[in-house]
């Protein structure tokens, strides 16, 4: 993946529908730099200008450096979100397990049976 520079939308032949929509918004130059996040995650830093030839090679290089830093931050944010989801899933599983254990205890008391027998009764009932 590499940066895509469109110096002047009026001369761009790729992506005709996109170019037309962007031009209708008054855009003339576009610089898009991919953010390397994860295999299945796609993101990009997109810069737009109303001026043609608004971005030069030094702008591309600065955008690539910024995109590299942004990608690191985005990877960290995604990792934190994944860990938070895992923690929430674990908490929900523990809560469910507590409810199941209480139900098994009640069945054992009512039916004077073992834990395995109570679990079988609960599983059959559910």
Domains in the chain, ordered, with CATH? 4-125 (3.30.450.40)
Query: What are 122's two structure tokens?
Result: 């609960």
Query: What are 16's two structure tokens?
Result: 């005709």
pTM over 0.75: no
3-31 pLDDT, tens digit per residue, is: 999 999 999 999 999 999 999 999 999 99
Close Cβ partners of 72 (under 8 Å, ≥ 6 residues apart):
none
User: What pLDDT is attached to residue 26?
Assistant: 96
d(CA 19, CA 77): 32
Residue 105 forms beta bridges with which residues? none
30-62 pLDDT, tens digit per residue, is: 999 999 887 777 889 999 999 999 999 999 999
Q: Compute how many other C-beta atoms are within 10 angstroms of the C-beta atom of residue 118.
A: 19
């Amino acid at each position: 993946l590499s940066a895509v520079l469109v110096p002047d939308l009026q001369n761009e032949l790729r992506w005709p529908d996109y170019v037309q929509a962007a031009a209708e918004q008054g855009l003339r130059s576009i610089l898009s730099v991919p953010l390397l996040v994860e295999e299945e995650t796609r993101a990009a830093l997109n810069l737009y200008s109303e001026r043609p030839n608004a971005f030069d090679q030094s702008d591309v290089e600065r955008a690539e450096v910024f995109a590299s830093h942004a990608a690191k931050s985005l990877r960290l944010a995604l990792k934190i979100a994944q860990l938070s989801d895992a923690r929430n899933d674990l908490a929900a599983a523990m809560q469910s397990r507590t409810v199941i254990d209480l139900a098994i205890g009640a069945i054992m008391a009512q039916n004077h049976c073992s834990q395995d027998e109570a679990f079988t009764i609960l599983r059959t009932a559910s």
